[in-house]
Amino acid sequence: MGALSIRNVRKSYGTTEILKGINIEIEEGEFLILVGPSGCGKSTLLAMIAGLDNITSGEVYIGERKVNDLSPKDRDIAMVFQSYALYPNMTVRQNISFGLEIRKVPKAEQQKIVAQVAQILQMEQLLDRKPSQLSGGQRQRVAMGRAIARNPTLFLFDEPLSNLDAKLRVEMRTEIKLLHKRVGKTIVYVTHDQVEAMTLGDKIAVMKDGEVVQFGTPQQIYDNPVNLFVASFMGSPSMNFIPCRVAVLDGKFGLKMDTGGQTHVFPVEGASSALAAYAGREIIVGIRPEKITHKVDFLAGAPNFYVAETTIEISEPTGADTLLVITINDKNIVCRVHPDYAKSQGERMAFMFDMSKTVYFDPVTELRIL
Amino acid sequence: MADSSNTQTQGSSRFGRYLIYTLLGLVCLYYLMPLFIMLSTSLKTLDDIRTGSLVSLPAHVTFQPWLDAWSKACIGVRCEGMSVYFWNSFRFVVPAVLISTLAGAFNGYVLTLWRFRGSDIFFSALMIGCFIPFQVILLPMARTLGELGIFNTISGLIFVHVVYGVSFTTLFFRNYYVTIPDELVKAARIDGAGFLRIFWRIILPISTPIVVVSIIWQFTQIWNDFLFGVVFSSGDHQPVTVALNNLVNTSTGVIGYNVDMAAAIIAALPTLFIYIVAGKYFVRGLTAGSVKG
Ligand SMILES: Nc1ncnc2c1ncn2[C@@H]1O[C@H](COP(=O)(O)OP(=O)(O)O)[C@@H](O)[C@H]1O
Ligand SMILES: [Mg+2]
C-alpha cells in the first residue's frame, strides 16, 4: 500500500458537490502535485487529507491507517498555508516549537529541533523576531520550518509560493525541491501554476470541477494529455489548437493546413486508423509552440517534419526564444524560434513543423483521438 | 497673473483655516464651560458662591467641599459621603467589565472561527440584544434576580450588566475576528492545539486592540448606568451614580453647590481617567484590522 491513498472521496457543502469521487494513490517519498484552475477543489481535497473538514464519503489512508475519523493532530501530518498562518503573537522560535510543546516534547529536545530546523532553512538570525518583522520570503521559510520541525510522515502544501514575487518564487521552488530530496518525505503540493507543477512533481493530478482529469508523471501529462483541457492547461506558452479537416490521400490521412492563400497537406504517420472515422471531417490538432521552429535543412522532408512558408503576424522576443505568431486555418498559432533565426514582423519565413508529438482531439467531446 | 491668483488662494485658504480654528475654539469652550464651572464651584466656599458670579474664579481655594463630598455629605439618612458608593461601583463594575469582555471574546471566537450550523442566526439573535431598551427588561430581570437570590446584591448588578453588555462585546469581537484568516486556526489545529488552547494562546493574545475597546466601552456604560442601579439595588449597595442623585436631593437646609459639584466630579473621574489613559487605543482599536501574517 502507498504512502497516501485517496479512494473515491466525495465532499458536498449543502447540495453542491465540490469533490466528485477522487482517486489518487502515491508511494512513500513521492512529490504529488494537485494542479487545476482556481475553485476546482484543490484546497478542499487537501483539507480532507488533513482532516480539517469531514469527508462526505470515501476513504483516506495515510500509510496503513485509515484516517477518516482521526483529527488533524493524530494524522501525523504538517501543513504549509498560502497565507503562512504564522502565530502573530509568537516569535519565530515559539512558532516552530508550539507544536512540539503541545506534543510534550521535552524542552531540551525542542531547542535542539528548533536549532536544526533553523540551520536547514538558514534562518538562525530570525529566531527571536515576530512574524510582522519578517519579509514575505522569510515568513514562507518559517512556515516551512514549522512543518519540518514536527517531522511528520506527510507534508501538505497549499499554494505556498503564490504570495511571493516572481524571482523569489523561483528561488523557493528550487529550495522546496532540494528540501524534498533532503528529507525524502511524501509531499502533497497544491498549486495553480503549471510551471511549479511540472518542475516539482513526481506525479501530477490535474483537477477540474472537483474531478481528477488526469493523473501521471509530468512528462506523461505534458506529452499525452487525455483531453483538450489538460493539453491547454499544462505548458507555457500553451499548446496550439488548429482546427483541421482530415484529408485522405492514397489510403493515408493528411491534415489540411491553410497558411493564407496556400493549402498544405501534412501526412499523418504511424497508426492513423483512429482517424478513419474522421475522414473529411474537422478535428482539433494540438501542437506545442516548440515544435514549430525555423527550417532545419537536414531535417526538412524527413517523416513527421513538414515545412510551410507564411507571413509573421507578430514577433515577441523573450530573450531565450522568440515567439512568432502566424495564421493557420484562420487561427493564430504561436511558434517558438531561436532568436538568431527569427525574422521580423510582416516578413515571410519558412517554418518547420515537427508533427511527431502532435495530438488530436475530437472537436465535440474534446477527448483525445490519437 | 499666475502669481497674484496664487497669493489670492493662499490668502483665502489661510482665512478659511482661521475660521475653522476659531469655530473649533468656540465649540471647545462651549463644551469645557460646564467642566470649568463645576471645577471652580467645587473649590469655592458657600459664601463665595453666594456673592460671586457663576463663572468667576474662587476667591480662596478650598478643598473642604471635596472632603465633605467624599466622606461627610449626607446621602439619605447616612452622612458618610460618596466613598462607600464609589467603592461599591468599583466592586461590580470591574468584574462586570471583565466578565462581559471575556464572554464577548469567547462568543466572537466561536461565531467566526468555529462556525456551526445556525451560527449566523445565533449571532443575529444576539444582536437584537443591542437594541433592547433598558426599561423593557426591568421587570423580567427583577424576577430573575429574585429567583436567583441575588436581588439587591453586588452579584446581582454584575449579572445584569454582563447579560446586557454581552451583545455589544460579542459584536466588537466578532467584527474583529472576521479579519483573522481561518488558516491561523487550521494551522494551530494541525499543530495539535484544541479549541480552548487556540483561544488562550493565539486568539486572545492578538486581541489587545479590541479588548481595550471593549473595556472602555463597557466601563463607561456600566459605571455611568443609573437605571439598573436604582432599580436593582438599594441602601448600602447602590452605585455611585445613584448616590450622587440622592446626595443632591438630600436637603439639609442650605444647598451645598460646592459639595454637589465635587461629588459629581468624583463620580465622573474614573471614566474621565479611562478615556485619557486609553482613548487613543480606543480609536486605534475601532479602526484596526487585526493581523497581517
Ligand atoms: N466551507 C465551504 N462552504 C461552501 N463552499 C465551499 C466551502 N469551501 C470551499 N467551497 C467551494 O468549493 C469550491 C472549491 O474550493 P477550493 O477547494 O478552495 O478551490 P481551490 O483551492 O482549487 O481554488 C469553490 O467553489 C468554493 O466556493
Ligand atoms: Mg485553494
Q: Where are the beta strands (DSSP E) in A14-163?
A: 16-26, 31-35, 57-62, 65-66, 77-80, 154-158
ipTM of this predicted structure = 0.87
DSSP 3-state of B177? helix
Residue of A62, A82, A98, A159 for testing the chain B interface, max B β-carbons within 10 Å: A98
pTM of the predicted structure, to 2 decimals: 0.86
How many whole angstroms separate alpha carbon A73 and alpha carbon B162?
36
Query: A284-335, pLDDT tens digit by residue?
Result: 999 999 999 999 999 888 889 999 999 999 999 999 999 999 999 999 999 9
- Cβ neighbours for B289, distance < 8 A, ≥ 6 positions apart: B179
Whether residues B50 and B195 fall in one domain: no
Whether residues B33 and B105 fall in one domain: no
Read off the C-alpha cell for B180.
483573522
Asked if B115 is an interface residue toward chain A (Cβ–Cβ < 8 A), one would say no
The verdict on a CB contact (< 8 Å) between B191 and A99 is yes
Read off the C-alpha cell for B20.
475653522
Look at chain B and report how many structural domains it folds into: 2
Q: What is the pLDDT of residue A318?
A: 93
Question: For residues A128 and A276, which has the higher predicted lDDT (pLDDT)?
Answer: A128
How many whole angstroms separate alpha carbon B72 and alpha carbon B81?
4
Q: Which of B11, B28, B62 is the last residue of a domain?
A: B62
Whether residues B25 and B143 fall in one domain: no
Position B202 in a domain: yes
CA–CA distances in Å: residue A330 to residues A257, A308, B7: 10, 15, 65
Nearest to A159, CA basis, from A146, A143, A180, A148: A143
Whether residues B129 and B56 fall in one domain: no
DSSP 3-state of B33? helix
Asked if A72 is an interface residue toward chain B (Cβ–Cβ < 8 A), one would say yes
Please give the average per-residue pLDDT across A95-123, as a whole number: 95
The protein residue with its alpha carbon nearest to ligand 1, atom 4, reads: A13
Position B46 in a domain: yes
The protein residue with its alpha carbon nearest to ligand 1, atom 27, reads: A39
Position B293 in a domain: no
Read off the C-alpha cell for A229.
483541457
Position B68 in a domain: no
Position B71 in a domain: no
Q: Is the pLDDT of residue A366 over 50?
A: yes
Q: Chain A residues with CB inside 8 Å of B183's CB?
A: 81-83, 85
Q: What is the pLDDT of residue B141?
A: 93
Please give the average per-residue pLDDT across A93-122, as a whole number: 95
- Cβ neighbours for B155, distance < 8 A, ≥ 6 positions apart: none
Q: What is the pLDDT of residue B36?
A: 92
Position B7 in a domain: yes
The CATH number for B161's domain is 1.10.3720.10
Whether residues B101 and B216 fall in one domain: yes
A160 lines ligand 1 (CB under 6 A): no
Q: Can you say how many angstroms the Cα of residue B148 is from the centroid of all Cα atoms in its chain?
A: 27
| Mean pLDDT per 10-residue interval, chain B, length 293 residues | 53 86 94 92 90 85 92 85 93 97 97 91 91 90 94 93 95 93 94 96 93 93 94 90 90 81 94 86 66 43
Share of chain A above pLDDT 90, in %: 83
Identify the closest residue of chain B to A76 by CA–CA distance.
Answer: B190
Q: Is the pLDDT of residue A68 over 80?
A: yes
Q: Is the pLDDT of residue A132 over 80?
A: yes
A368: closest CA of chain B, how far (Å): 39
Other Cβ atoms less than 10 A from the Cβ of B98: the count is 16
Q: What is the pLDDT of residue B293?
A: 37
Position B215 in a domain: yes
Whether residues B55 and B146 fall in one domain: no
Asked if B181 is an interface residue toward chain A (Cβ–Cβ < 8 A), one would say yes
What is the domain extent for residue B129?
83-288
Whether residues B50 and B152 fall in one domain: no
Q: What is the pLDDT of residue B291?
A: 47
The verdict on a CB contact (< 8 Å) between A73 and B293 is no
Whether residues B109 and B6 fall in one domain: no
Q: What is the pLDDT of residue B6?
A: 53
Q: What is the pLDDT of residue B2?
A: 46
Whether residues B170 and B281 fall in one domain: yes
A138, A154 Cβ separation under 8 angstroms: no
Q: What is the pLDDT of residue B234?
A: 87
Residue window 27-56, chain B: list those with CB within 8 Å of chain A. none
CA–CA distances in Å: residue A280 to residues A243, A244, A254, B38: 13, 10, 10, 101
Whether residues B166 and B102 fall in one domain: yes
How many whole angstroms separate alpha carbon A175 and alpha carbon A141?
10
A13 lines ligand 1 (CB under 6 A): yes
Identify the closest residue of chain B to A155 by CA–CA distance.
Answer: B190
Position B77 in a domain: no
A129, A108 Cβ separation under 8 angstroms: no
In this structure, the strands spanning A348-354 and A282-287 are unpaired
Please give the average per-residue pLDDT across A131-145, as a whole number: 93
Q: What is the pLDDT of residue A1?
A: 62
Q: Which of B190, B206, B292 is the closest to A77 by Cβ?
A: B190
The verdict on a CB contact (< 8 Å) between A72 and B190 is yes
Other Cβ atoms less than 10 A from the Cβ of B287: the count is 9
Q: What is the pLDDT of residue A275?
A: 86
Torsion, Cα of A160, A162, A163, A164 (10° steps) = 90
How many whole angstroms separate alpha carbon B218 and alpha carbon B234?
22
Whether residues B57 and B172 fall in one domain: no
Whether residues B41 and B154 fall in one domain: no
